[in-house]
Amino acid sequence: MSIDLNGVRLAISPCPNDTFLFEGLVGALTENGGSVRYLDIAELNALHDDPDPPDVVKISCASAPLFLDRYRLLRCGGAFADAVGPLVLRRPSRDGAWSEGSGNVALPGWRTSAHILWRMWRDKNRQGEPLEEFLRFDRIPGAVADGGFSRGVVIHESRFTYQDLGLEAEADLGEFWDAETSCPVPLGCLVVRKDRGEAFARGIAERIVSHAELAFKRQEPVTPFVASLAAEMASDVQRRHILTYATRRSLDCGPEGLAAMEILWDRGETSIAPWPVDRAGRRAAIETAIGGVRT
């Protein structure tokens, strides 16, 4: 389905899995009068309050209920990993003894997927209620290494580079989620403004899948465009990031991905705070999600 890209506004993160998937669409938008914003995940999640937000936004799966009054879910363009997720990091102890339920923890955003998974793991492992503080994701490893926090929950490239700072992984919250739910880890999803209409939503989904299919066929996933926006400049880290988070579920998350999001939303409501849309509304959003075609 052909759509006019003039004036279409896209907002994604500069992380390699996003730029890998959307490089083709970014080029098409640039050539046809559209625009792209590259924002940190916390900034993307905050766009639900924007008076005139972008037409298409990549957000944390956990933040999707905040967007459902003005946006529809797309089944394509997301990040659904297999037993891989945020890491709980800490500094190694000289004597191997760790105090339980004490200290503070750095997190990449309030009620993000990482935040909900952390709360689930914390409660399952009886870690008490350590003070939670929220930092930009790329500042968390250094803050833990410097002793500012007893733990840090990291996402994106940081899961591949934390050992350079002498940190160790206490838990992979993706493995924990997999053991708890047997679902893919719901990390990121794409939403499209309702007021753009049904034809636009389906057309943009088709464009996203078409461009992403071409990206998956490349022998080398890291392009100059991907490298130019990545926070971590090592090409091997960028490649590992793409191979971990850009999967076939990025073309269509499927029933498994939708089920994972619904579980995440329910857990977020019970462990952190109520959503502005009730369970019936969230279920309706799942049932009307627009997807690409899995190949």
pLDDT tops 60 at residue 294: no
pLDDT at residue 95, as a whole number:
54
Query: What per-residue confidence (pLDDT) applies to 100?
Result: 42
- 292 pLDDT tier (thresholds 50, 70, 90): low
Contact 192, 204 (CB under 8 A): yes
Q: Does the pLDDT at position 24 exceed 90?
A: yes
Helices (H) and strands (E) in the chain, counts: 11, 10
pLDDT of residue 295: 41
**267 to 18, 79, 202: CA distances (angstroms):** 26, 19, 30
The CA–CA distances, whole Å, from 268 to 42, 120, 210 equal 16, 9, 33
* 46 secondary structure, DSSP code: G
Report whether 74 contacts 190 (CB < 8 A).
Answer: yes
What is the number of other CB atoms lying within 10 angstroms of the CB of residue 209? 23
Domains belonging to the chain, first-starting first, are: 9-82+184-287 (3.40.190.10), 87-181 (3.40.190.10)
Active site residues: 156
Strand-pairing partners, residue 188, are: 60, 79
Using only C-alpha atoms, what is the Rg of the chain?
Answer: 19
Task: Please choose, from the candidates 130, 121, 143, the residue with its C-alpha nearest in 3D space to the C-alpha of residue 267.
Answer: 121
What 3-state class would DSSP assign to 158?
helix
pLDDT at position 11 is 98
pLDDT one-digit tens code per residue, 197-242: 999 999 999 999 999 999 999 999 999 999 999 877 788 889 998 9
Residues 246-286 have pLDDT tens digits of 999 999 999 999 999 999 999 999 888 899 999 999 999 99
| Mean pLDDT value of segment 6-16 | 95
Chain-centroid distance of CA 11 in Å reads 13
The CB-side HSE value for 281 (13 A sphere, CA atoms) comes to 14
Q: Is the pLDDT of residue 99 over 50?
A: no
Q: What is the mean pLDDT of the chain?
A: 90
